[in-house]
Amino acid sequence: MTGKRFRDPKVIHFLPNGQFYFERGIVAFREEKMTEAIGYLERARELEPFEPVIICQLAICYTEIGQFHKSNQLLRYILEKLDANMHYCYYFIANNFAYLKDFKRALQYAKRYVAEDPKGEYVEEANDLMDVLLEESPIGQSLENKFIKVEQEFYEYKKEINRYLAEEDSVSACRVLERVIDEKPNFWPAYNQLAALYFEQLREEEGLRVLYDLLERSSGNLLGRIDLFMYHYFKANEEEAKALYSELSKIVPILTHHRERLGYVHAMMGAYKTADDFLGDIVDLEVTERPKFYYYRAKTAYYLGNIEFANEMWEQFLNCDVYEKEDFPFTDKADDFVAYVPNVLRFLASKEPALHYLGVYALSISPSRAEMVLFHPLFEMTNWTYEEHLVFTQFVFLADGIPEQNSRYMVELFSELAQIGLPLSEENLAFYVQVVRTIWQITEKQVSLVDYEKESVISSFVARFGSKSQIKKANLDKKIQDIDLFD
């Protein structure tokens, strides 16, 4: 018997990848073994966490076993984080909402899918779903009349408007909206957008006329009342804003867009718990004004004590690229007076030069600065003085002239006054006005303050213009240096 030479057996290590588990998940899905399919697909997702097709199939499996919320979480994750062009995820989300009997959102997402991908693979199914919902749901006909139909009409002309806006031709966009209103005087969304464009062009009277025309024709128009509230709020018309808020605060909206807009109103008025209730159940894909949404969620969360979430929302706000990068503005060290938006707006609306100057200063240091700069429908700086522009930009570009140097010196004085217990406030307002006017008078005499010690200057101002309580609070040296500022 001849001997045989045996080799050691070769061990082949098999390391399956995500595709391996995905394919087995598909086989299990087709065989209707959902638990097994989910197990395979979850493992595939672990190995390839950024592959949207795997996650989408996993979401479909969760739908099959009735975990509709879990499925929607995965589908939204795909659209928000991985691939915004997988439009058919909207259709799957619509299906899940239909199963959950949330017919309003089911209609919204089905319509969104058809609008985003009119030749998509599931368009026929999406249209069938909308037909069924409108026929069988008790609110179907109402939604069709009050929401879906309006949205369909809006979509037709907003393409033309968006083209003009992309070309920065807002005048032509206004003409389109004016034509729409002439042809369809009961088409309310056109009024809202036309008023917003007028305000953007600083055509204040025309914007107001459109809003009042809207409310005369449709007295209960919610968005019209919200837009009018926004106008009065940012114009520092506090009585009018409070009267409108009194009406708006009684409304519990159904439509998501209405909840979003009312959430902003409540946050602006300091009703943070109500704002959080309204904004908290709006998912990312349903947001229409992202910078506002993330800003007011950050502000609301902070004042409700949820600091970690507030910081997360602030980062999302910065990611919208509409505001310069800066640290989280809301802190316990923030001055409550300048943090309260109506205070700053009141100063900015003043025609008294010293008060307006103080308004610009308050805006520059306010933790609510972004709110006033970005969301004020009529915010503009064309009538500001050169020195006010320097204050607003915190003297990034500073010339060597006496007016510029004295203006920076004055702002530095304001900072030191706050540190010794005399911040800008209602109580200290008259004192601050005197400081501004006096430094302007000194500047007119071409006297530079740079060579004067700030402590001595502050002592002089407090002694001359301060009340007894302010002098006591400042706790300054009784011996005041004679610096000849008031000669």
In DSSP notation, 308-362 reads HHHHHHHHHHHHTSSS--------TTS-HHHHSHHHHHHHHT--SHHHHHHHHHH
DSSP 240: H
Residue 104 has pLDDT above 50, yes or no: yes
Position 111: which residue type? K
pLDDT tens-digit series, residues 125-181? 888 788 777 655 544 444 444 445 555 555 567 777 877 877 778 888 899 999 989
Position 403: which residue type? P
pLDDT tens-digit series, residues 329-368? 998 766 689 999 999 999 999 999 999 999 999 999 999 9
Q: What pLDDT, on the 0 to 100 scale, is given for residue 2? A: 43
Residue-wise DSSP of 382-434: TTS-HHHHHHHTTTSS--SSHHHHHHHHHHHHHHHHHHTT--SSTTTHHHHHH
CB atoms within 10 A of CB 374: 15
Average pLDDT, stretch 257-263?
Answer: 91
Q: What pLDDT, on the 0 to 100 scale, is given for residue 455? A: 87
Residue 303, Ramachandran bin (φ over 0: left; ψ between -120 and 50: alpha; else beta):
alpha
Residue 404 has pLDDT above 50, yes or no: yes
Give the angle 314-317-322 at the CA atoms, nearest 5°.
Answer: 135
CB atoms within 10 A of CB 426: 8
pLDDT tens-digit series, residues 441-485? 999 999 899 888 888 889 889 888 888 888 887 776 554 454 566
What is the distance, to the nearest Å, from the Cα of residue 156 to the centroid of all Cα atoms in its chain?
Answer: 27
pLDDT tens-digit series, residues 410-422? 999 999 999 998 9
pLDDT tens-digit series, residues 373-399? 999 999 989 889 999 999 998 887 766
Residue 198: partners with Cβ closer than 8 Å, 6 or more residues away: 174, 204, 206, 207, 210
Q: Tell me which range, 91-100, 354-363, 395-404, is most confidently predicted by mean pLDDT.
A: 354-363
Q: How confident is the model at residue 19 (pLDDT cuts 50, 70, 90)?
A: confident
- The percent of residues above 70 in pLDDT, for the chain, comes to 88
Going from the C-alpha of 203 to that of each of 178, 195, 206, 245, the distances in angstroms are 14, 9, 6, 24
Position 407: which residue type? S
Q: Tell me which range, 46-55, 227-236, 395-404, is most confidently predicted by mean pLDDT.
A: 227-236
Q: What pLDDT, on the 0 to 100 scale, is given for residue 14? A: 42
Pick the more confident residue, 153 or 47.
47
Which of 168, 223, 166 lies closest to 196 in space, CA to CA? 223
Question: What is d(CA 157, CA 435) in angstroms, rounded to the nearest whole number?
Answer: 55
Q: What pLDDT, on the 0 to 100 scale, is given for residue 34? A: 85
Q: Helix 149-166 and helix 188-200: axis angle, to 10°?
A: 20
Summary mean pLDDT of the chain: 85
Q: What pLDDT, on the 0 to 100 scale, is given for residue 223? A: 92
Q: How confident is the model at residue 326 (pLDDT cuts 50, 70, 90)?
A: confident
Residue 1 has pLDDT above 60, yes or no: no
Residue 52 has pLDDT above 70, yes or no: yes
- The percent of residues above 90 in pLDDT, for the chain, comes to 50
Q: What pLDDT, on the 0 to 100 scale, is given for residue 398? A: 67
Average pLDDT, stretch 394-407?
Answer: 84
Pick the more confident residue, 75 or 20.
75
Q: Tell me which range, 39-48, 228-237, 451-460, is most confidently predicted by mean pLDDT.
A: 228-237
Q: How confident is the model at residue 10 (pLDDT cuts 50, 70, 90)?
A: very low
Q: What pLDDT, on the 0 to 100 scale, is given for residue 143? A: 46
Residue 12 has pLDDT above 50, yes or no: no
The full 3-state SS of 28-56, as one line of letters, equals HHHCCCHHHHHHHHHHHHHHCCCCHHHHH
Q: How confident is the model at residue 13 (pLDDT cuts 50, 70, 90)?
A: very low
